[in-house]
Structure 1
């Protein structure tokens, strides 16, 4: 365990340059005192690590020193090949690059690790889009990806959900996220915090020869977690009281977001028949109507009256249509 940590510390210094003891402790998930002990061990083993005190200081390797101790373990080799997503890579314009990198990596692996990596390809396939819908058509994705890599601004015409429907924006794209087959760019449009834009809704894009630098404290993964949590909180605009049968509950698990299915499952069970009475969150009356209609006679809306009336009207129209 300690040998692996010493190697990780050495590779961190080799790949990232000067790092403070606090930064190394955070990366390795150990205490600062442990970092100091590990650095002393590396120095004792002949690794040319030097430290500089004060502001802007830290630990670094002597210029020109590089280690060849970069061998992968079996688990690491499997993880690398499992992480390669050829579909998204191709959409980003990196399909051939990924294929070439995997070939080079495979050629560099010992025979046994090469066999294990091939088994990963044979036994696991990652499909990003959700069921019953195709992945986004995002023709400007490679251009957005290029702007992200090069840290260059872009000017776009963008189709929004609200009025005005089509707007022009100068964007500074910080990063790209693939979520359930849909591509999003997190970008700053001037004033306030960065926002999220769905790349398939970009109608035109013009690269600009204007460099930008994201804020030093911006972290894409942290932003996305916060953004999705806030979106989930804003999503639910009200509640509906329902009665739902066991087959309806099973169908709801397939069709509805987890929050809706979990709320229905938490409801009080009635006897006989196993029906449940529950309060479920809803986005809007229109959305709830379409969602609950899919359950047919396996659900009854008790409240609010407006939603119950909508379903009754639709049910009468369907009965008249098929009478």
Structure 2
């Protein structure tokens, strides 16, 4: 375990350059004291590693030093062939590049690792988009990706859900995220960093000049925070629902993971009829009506009263339509 960590320190410094002891500790999930001991061991082994004190200090390899300890383990080689997203790569115009890179990697692997990696490709395929949804047209994705990579601003005409629906924005693109087959652009607009769906960009024009991407900006951390805020914004209320055994079983197939998790945490013991009472978050009354109607007779909403009333009205209207006088 320690030998693997020492190699990881070398590879991190080789690829990232200067890093503080705290950054190394956070990345490797150990204490700063452990990093100090590891650095001493690397010094003793003759590795040209030096450190500077102060706010801008940190550890760094001597210029020109390159470790040769880059051999892949079997698990690492296999994971590389699971990590690719052929669909998104093709949308970025990199489909052929990814294929060529995988071929070169396969050719460079030892025979035993090549066989294992080949079996991974034969037996596992990752298809990111959800069921019953075609890929969105992303006409401007290559231009957006170019702006992200080269740090040049863009002017876009964007269609959003609230009025006015079409707006003009000057954006400084920070990064791209693909989620469930949909591409999202994270960009600064004015004083704020916001998220834009690439398929909703109607027109795009590159602007002259460049911008400086904040070095402290962390795309993955921003995205996690955005998702948490998005979920909190959607879920403004709660509903108390009785579910039959079949309804409880179908919940995982028909509802979002957040609803399923909340139902599992709040589930009461089954009553004498075998039904379970749960408390789940809801986005709005109208949205909740559609969600709970999918469960049919296997769900009974107990509260809030306005949701129960809307369900009663909707089912009455449905009954009248399918059973006219």
Over 3 Å counting, the alpha-carbon distance change for 1:277 and 1:24 in structure 2 is closer
Deviation at 1:106, TM superposition (A): 0.9
The aligned residue for residue 205 of structure 1 is 204
Deviation at 1:169, TM superposition (A): 0.5
Aligned with 1:209: secondary structure? coil
Aligned with 1:302: secondary structure? strand
Residues 238, 281 of structure 1: 8 Å contact kept: yes
Aligned with 1:309: secondary structure? helix
Deviation at 1:233, TM superposition (A): 1.3
Paired with 1:48 and 1:160, the residues of 2 have a C-alpha distance of 54
State the number of aligned residues: 322
Residues 249, 261 of structure 1: 8 Å contact kept: no
Paired with 2:274 and 2:117, the residues of 1 have a C-alpha distance of 49
Residues 264, 276 of structure 1: 8 Å contact kept: no
Paired with 2:262 and 2:48, the residues of 1 have a C-alpha distance of 59
Deviation at 1:26, TM superposition (A): 3.1
The aligned residue for residue 110 of structure 2 is 110
Q: In terms of mean alpha carbon deviation, does 129-138 or 217-226 score higher?
A: 129-138
Paired with 1:302 and 1:69, the residues of 2 have a C-alpha distance of 63
Paired with 2:28 and 2:10, the residues of 1 have a C-alpha distance of 11
What is the 5 A alignment of 1:112-261? 112-191=112-191, 193-261=192-260
Over 3 Å counting, the alpha-carbon distance change for 1:202 and 1:248 in structure 2 is same
Paired with 1:254 and 1:277, the residues of 2 have a C-alpha distance of 18
TM-score by length of 1: 0.91
Deviation at 1:107, TM superposition (A): 0.9
Over 3 Å counting, the alpha-carbon distance change for 1:40 and 1:172 in structure 2 is same
Paired with 1:77 and 1:58, the residues of 2 have a C-alpha distance of 31
Deviation at 1:104, TM superposition (A): 1.0
Deviation at 1:55, TM superposition (A): 5.0
Aligned with 1:211: secondary structure? coil
Deviation at 1:154, TM superposition (A): 1.0
Structure 1: tracts of 5 or more residues without a match: none
Paired with 2:245 and 2:15, the residues of 1 have a C-alpha distance of 56
Deviation at 1:102, TM superposition (A): 0.9
Deviation at 1:39, TM superposition (A): 3.4
Q: In terms of mean alpha carbon deviation, does 150-159 or 6-15 score higher?
A: 6-15
Cα RMSD, aligned residues only: 2.1
Structure 2: tracts of 5 or more residues without a match: none
TM-score by length of 2: 0.90
Aligned with 1:205: secondary structure? strand
Paired with 2:69 and 2:211, the residues of 1 have a C-alpha distance of 36
